[in-house]
Amino acid sequence: MYATRLAAIPLFASIAPEERELVGELVDPLQVSAGDEVATQDAFGYSFFVIEEGTAEVRVDDQIVGQLGPGDFFGEIALLCTGRRTAAVVATSPMKLFSLFDRDFREIEAQVPGLARELRRVAGERLAAARA
């Protein structure tokens, strides 16, 4: 359903078209307003997000530690590693996101192993950076 739009996002651009079709069937589009908190630090994380349009700040203990924009993603650490959000993500502009709920994320892990490996790699790097 959303495979064509996903093709423009670097995370999904390199996977096979049939894999992108699968992902496109599982993602849910989401729109948020500037100022909305999309992820709350220390809350249990049940969704993974990919930014199609807009910008956001990453905050740890109310300190801005990063900026996100189109093509960036977040939420993988809670789903893959910790169960809880390691940071808050707050929209700094209106945003269009793709969201994957935990069970759909698990389906993609099983069906698109290359994508799963990339997400695990990024989650590991982000956790290591947070601990440094």
Long-range contact list for 69-72, CB < 8 A, 24+ apart?
70/9, 71/9, 71/10, 71/11
Residue 94, C-beta contacts closer than 8 angstroms, at least 6 positions apart: 31, 32, 33, 34, 53, 54
| pLDDT tens over the chain, length 132 residues | 798 999 999 888 888 999 999 999 999 999 999 999 999 999 998 999 999 999 999 999 999 999 999 999 999 888 777 688 989 999 999 999 999 998 998 898 889 888 888 888 887 888 787 776
pLDDT of residue 66: 93
User: 78: which DSSP letter?
Assistant: I
Q: Which domains occur in the chain, in start order?
A: 29-127 (2.60.120.10)
For residue 59, give the nearest of 30, 85, 33 by alpha carbon.
Answer: 85
Output the pLDDT for position 113. Answer: 87
Tell me the backbone φ, ψ of residue 56, rounded to 5 degrees: -150, 160
- pTM for this structure? 0.89
**Beta-carbon contacts of residue 20 (< 8 Å; ≥ 6 apart):** 3, 6, 7, 12
| Contact call for residues 84 and 43 (beta carbons, < 8 A) | yes
pLDDT at 88: 96
